[in-house]
Amino acid sequence: MAEAITGSEKLSSGARMRMSKPLIIILTLIIAIPVVWFSVFRSTAGVPVSCDAQYDALVKQAKAQLSSGDRTATINSLIAARNKLRDCETPSAKDVAPIFRN
C-alpha cells in the first residue's frame, strides 16, 4: 500500500499545504483585526470627562491633601488644576486674531 503513493501525490499535498498556510493567516487576520479594533476603541469611547469635572476633582484632591498635611502634593495638585484651566479655556477673538493684517 505504501508503494502506491506516487511522487505527484506528494507534490500535490505539499502544494495544498502551501496554499493552506496563507489561507489560515488571512482568516486569522480577518477575525483578529475587528476584535482588536473594537476592544481598543470601545474602551476609550466612554463618556468624556468635562474640563470642569477634571478641575473640580483636582481642587478636591488638593483640599484633601492639605487637610492631611501634605503641602507638596497640595501645591502640585493646585498647579495641575491651574494648568487644566489654561488647557480648557476657550480662546477669545483677541487671542486668535493675528497682530498684523496680511
pLDDT for the residue numbered 57: 92
pLDDT for the residue numbered 38: 75
pLDDT for the residue numbered 45: 46
pTM for the whole structure:
0.44
pLDDT for the residue numbered 64: 94
Mean pLDDT, consecutive 10-residue segments, the chain of 102 residues? 53 66 83 77 58 89 93 93 84 66 60
CB neighbourhood size of 64 (10 A): 13
pLDDT for the residue numbered 62: 94
Nearest to 81 by CA among 64, 57, 101, 45: 57
Grid coordinates given for 69? 498635611
Domain regions of the chain by residue span: 7-44, 51-91
Question: What is the tally of helices (H) and strands (E) in the chain?
Answer: 4, 0
Residues whose CB is less than 8 angstroms from the CB of residue 62 and which lie 6 or more positions away in sequence, other chains included: 74, 77, 78, 81
